Structure 1
Amino acid sequence: MTALPQNTAGASFPKQEKLKSRKQIAALFEQGHSVSHYPLKLVYLPTTTKTVTQAGVTVPKRRFKLAVTRNRIKRLMREGYRHRKSLFFNNNTTAYAFLFLYIGKEIPTQQAVHKALEKVAEKFQKQLSDEPK
């Protein structure tokens, strides 16, 4: 096990923050913006109806045939997001819908997922600051 950052004392991922709406997921793929850092890709879309930011994770069945493997990777991604959630909300007042896609070909380690999530968060913040308002 690796040591987790000290600032994650109140980190949680409650039910209302989980992205489950098929309509919202479809809208993410149609209208969403994306940033990626291998082996993760983040697709995001500002939402006007929800007051809370929602996130979901997905792993392709084409690359990982065994459900056990897919579930392990999803668990690692949810855990990484839960601990690094604050990186995505620096100076953000808008609610977003996030979908984290695993685009790698091998089973990742926890450290690799955490590092990739930090890089994706940095790129997300940079892309938000570069967008015209």
Structure 2
Amino acid sequence: MAIKTYSFNKEEKLKSRKMIETLFRDGKAFSVFPYRVIYMHASLHTDKYPVQAGFSVSSRKFPHAVDRNRIKRLGREAYRIQKQSLYDALRESGAQLAVFFIYTDKKIADFDILSRKFSVILEKLTREAVRKD
């Protein structure tokens, strides 16, 4: 059942404060500049989507909300377009992930750069998810 989904629905967004706190406390992390990625295996409340993702940008590095929102929007778009391979691997293994992407650069990157970085990030997440299960 390889349903291709290019959306980023409400159920795919990591919004639970409890889950986010657990993720930051117990999750594993790696960096692919300009992102720091924190992830952990979790039992999510949805069977439809194997990943819940959250995005964050430092208000200290980007004091204007317009800039923070743009960076988050670019990151979500890059993730949305390329997430399918991760979803397929997780569905195959029956695992679920909670993931948080933290933008660490001091300037706004182009979408092309973010897209390339997200392909590396998602490959790494796929390897980690499959290796674990």
Shorter-chain-normalised TM-score: which range? 0.7 to 0.9
- The alpha-carbon deviation at position 56 of structure 1 amounts to 0.9
Letter in 2 for 1:46: H
- Counterpart CA distance in 2 for 1:117 and 1:49 is 23
Letter in 2 for 1:48: S
User: Of residues 24, 32, 45 in structure 2, which corresponds to 1:37?
Assistant: 32
Secondary structure of the 1:89 match is: helix
The TM-score normalised by the length of structure 2 is 0.84
CA RMSD between the two structures: 1.7
- Counterpart CA distance in 1 for 2:129 and 2:12 is 21
Match of 1:64 in 2: 62
Alpha-carbon contact 2:78-2:114 (below 8 Å) kept: yes
- Counterpart CA distance in 1 for 2:58 and 2:86 is 24
Mean Cα displacement is larger for which, 87-96 or 60-69? 87-96
Secondary structure of the 2:89 match is: coil
Alpha-carbon contact 2:86-2:126 (below 8 Å) kept: yes
User: Of residues 12, 27, 30 in structure 2, which corresponds to 1:17?
Assistant: 12
- Counterpart CA distance in 2 for 1:87 and 1:42 is 17
Give 1:1-133 correspondences, 5 Å limit: 10-50=5-45, 51=47, 52=49, 53-92=51-90, 93-131=94-132, 133=133
Secondary structure of the 2:38 match is: strand
Identify the structure with the greater helix proportion: 2
Which string of whole-angstrom CA distances, capped at 9 and with x for unpartnered residues, describes residues 92-126 of structure 1?
12111111110111111001111111111122223
- Counterpart CA distance in 2 for 1:22 and 1:97 is 12
- Counterpart CA distance in 1 for 2:127 and 2:7 is 25
Letter in 2 for 1:67: A
Sequence identity (%): 35
The TM-score normalised by the length of structure 1 is 0.84
Count, aligned residues: 124
Alpha-carbon contact 2:95-2:129 (below 8 Å) kept: no
- The alpha-carbon deviation at position 129 of structure 1 amounts to 4.3
- The alpha-carbon deviation at position 10 of structure 1 amounts to 4.3
